[in-house]
Amino acid sequence: MPEGITQKVRETANDLGEFTMDHLEETIPVKTLKELRAARNAIRRLIRNNEILPAGPDRYRYQAAMRELSKRARMWRAMRIKGTFTQKDIMRLTGASRPHVKKYVRYLRRQGLVEAVAGQDYVRGLYRLKDPDNAPLEHPKVVGEA
Amino acid sequence: MKDLVVPTENLQGFASVAEALTTKPERLDRMGLIFGKWGLGKTTALEWFFANHPCFYVRSMAAWQRSANMMVEDILAAYRVEARGRLKLDVRELVRVVKKHGVPLFIDEADRVVRRAILIETVRDVHDLSRVPIILIAQEDVMALLGRRDMGHILSRITEKYEFRELSVRDIQRVAPALCGLAVGEKVGPFIRKVCLGDFRLLNAFLLRAEELCSYNKTSEITASIAKTAAEAVIGPAERAREPEAERPEAQRAALAAAG
């Protein structure tokens, strides 16, 4: 799970403030050698993306950057902030294509996270999150595709 | 007409505040303020930003003004953390969780927060202890509240601010091609702005009519005569019959009179 380990690296670097690379590698909560390798790759990625910046000789600091979200993450976030929405709203806010929005809404309905309020079609079909207060922060991944 | 969020100057200003605060070093103050009159698209900009960027959002409630507990509980709920019901513990937990995520926190309708000392002081504590950007979104009168002498320490922490303004002529020249594929000339732009009063909803009504007229006339530019006819859609013929001339906004009347 590259995103998972990258997030761990981000959190650890953020908690440390300023750090040396050795200190960062020691502090990241990893259990296996494979995870450590993935963490080292993640560190390299974060340096490339200017999220880990030099802060003196052999010292680095974490600098949060505006990260790109996946289309599904955007759609899920748009649904969370709208609460009640049409497929058109989600397309407008995220720039996702119409079939992509339709497919994801259908998947979320099957998962019981979204329910139809009125209508069915693209413009008038109104949907809402079933339990907005407890809707997960991370977007539900489509099983078999993610 | 296409259904898009067009990057107007307001939207770019909104995004630039958030981006500037996110990329600022942690040791600097990172509170932001976005303010402006109602109906200028602050909430739409917030929805767009929230959908496309990692951040958290909470809308302040009138009931927050009765106690800080409710505010802290609601912000914790936005992070999907259950409050314990004791303010001291909850504030500590809030600082921990905000710091853990490390992404900006937006507080909408923040006028309510600014009006109560305990609320804005709690927000300031969370900002100072977590060193995470906190962006307040409020009505235009928030500047008067923050300008008070007892708010100096809050105002000094606001290192980025942006005021939402009415749509500019450049915005209209950007929106019309993006939404309808219609060009807007230098002379027609100011007329459309006056007719629509710089309001996005009125501009949408105008563009819907202009699109029909342009398609009928087989042209891809909004000419002065098309703009004048489409302006009827903004003011509304039925509405004109009901409303006396004197009640129509001054700018609209002047623009129509100038167009003949």
C-alpha to C-alpha distance for A15 and A12, rounded to whole angstroms: 5
Size of interface A-B (CB pairs under 8 A): 59
Which residues of chain A does B19 touch, with a Cβ-Cβ cutoff of 8 Å?
66
Question: pLDDT value at position B258?
Answer: 66
Residue A142 falls within a domain, yes or no? no
Question: pLDDT value at position B235?
Answer: 63
Q: What CATH number is associated with residue A75? A: 1.10.10.10
Asked whether the predicted pLDDT for residue B233 surpasses 80, the reply is no
Mean pLDDT score, A91-106: 91
Which of A41, A62, A83 represents a domain boundary (last residue)? Answer: A62
State pLDDT tens for residues B2-57: 778 888 889 999 999 998 898 887 788 999 999 998 878 888 899 999 999 999 99
The model's pTM:
0.76
Counting the structural domains of chain A, the total is: 2
A54 shares its domain with A75: no
Which residues of chain B does A88 touch, with a Cβ-Cβ cutoff of 8 Å?
3
The terminus-to-terminus CA distance of chain A in angstroms comes to 11
Which residues of chain B does A92 touch, with a Cβ-Cβ cutoff of 8 Å?
3-5
A16 shares its domain with A41: yes
Q: A-contacting residues of B 148-207, CB under 8 Å?
A: none
Residue A144 falls within a domain, yes or no? no
Amino acid, res. A29: P
Distance from CA of A78 to the nearest CA of B (A): 5
Best CA proximity match to B46, nearest among A88, A93, A97, A129: A93
Question: pLDDT value at position B22?
Answer: 87
Best CA proximity match to B207, nearest among B187, B186, B234, B225: B234
Residue A130 falls within a domain, yes or no? yes
Asked whether the predicted pLDDT for residue B237 surpasses 80, the reply is no
Q: Do B103 and A74 touch (CB under 8 A)?
A: no
Q: A-contacting residues of B 7-66, CB under 8 Å?
A: 18-19, 22-23, 25-26, 46-48, 50-54, 57
Nearest to A64 among B52, B57, B102 (CB): B102
Asked whether the predicted pLDDT for residue A2 surpasses 80, the reply is no
**Domain ranges for chain B:** 9-164, 169-258
Query: Could you give the strand order of the β-sheet that contains B134-138, starting from the edge strand earlier in sequence?
Result: B56-59, B105-108, B134-138, B31-36, B158-164
Residue A43 falls within a domain, yes or no? yes
C-alpha to C-alpha distance for B3 and B180, rounded to whole angstroms: 10
Distance from CA of B45 to the nearest CA of A (A): 9
Q: What CATH number is associated with residue A44? A: 1.10.10
Asked whether the predicted pLDDT for residue A57 surpasses 60, the reply is yes
A52 shares its domain with A103: no
Host domain of residue A23: 2-62
Q: Do A66 and B19 touch (CB under 8 A)?
A: yes
State pLDDT tens for residues B89-129: 999 999 999 988 888 999 999 999 999 999 999 999 999 99
Residue A141 falls within a domain, yes or no? no
Which residues of chain A does B100 touch, with a Cβ-Cβ cutoff of 8 Å?
11
Residue A140 falls within a domain, yes or no? no
Residue A54 falls within a domain, yes or no? yes
State pLDDT tens for residues B176-220: 988 888 888 888 899 998 888 888 888 888 999 999 999 888 888
Question: Which CATH number applies to B169-258: 3.30.70, 1.25.40, 1.10.8, 1.20.272?
Answer: 1.10.8
A85 shares its domain with A58: no
State pLDDT tens for residues B134-152: 999 999 889 888 888 888 8
Q: Do B52 and A92 touch (CB under 8 A)?
A: no
Among A7, A14, A101, A123, the residue to mutate for chain B (most B Cβ within 10 A): A14
What ipTM is given for this predicted complex? Answer: 0.80
Topology given in CATH for the domain delimited by B9-164: Rossmann fold (3.40.50)
Q: Is A67 on the interface with B (CB under 8 A)?
A: yes
C-alpha to C-alpha distance for B81 and A34, rounded to whole angstroms: 31
Query: Tokens 């513990």 label which residue?
Result: B89
A58 shares its domain with A92: no
Q: Do A11 and B102 touch (CB under 8 A)?
A: yes
> How many CB atoms lie under 10 A from the CB of residue A140?
16
Nearest to B50 among A17, A77, A88 (CB): A77
Query: B244 or B211, which is more confident?
Result: B211
Q: Do B47 and A69 touch (CB under 8 A)?
A: no
Question: pLDDT value at position B253?
Answer: 67
Q: Is A11 on the interface with B (CB under 8 A)?
A: yes
Q: Which residues pair with A129 in a beta bridge?
A: A114
Band (pLDDT 50/70/90 cuts) for residue A144 is low
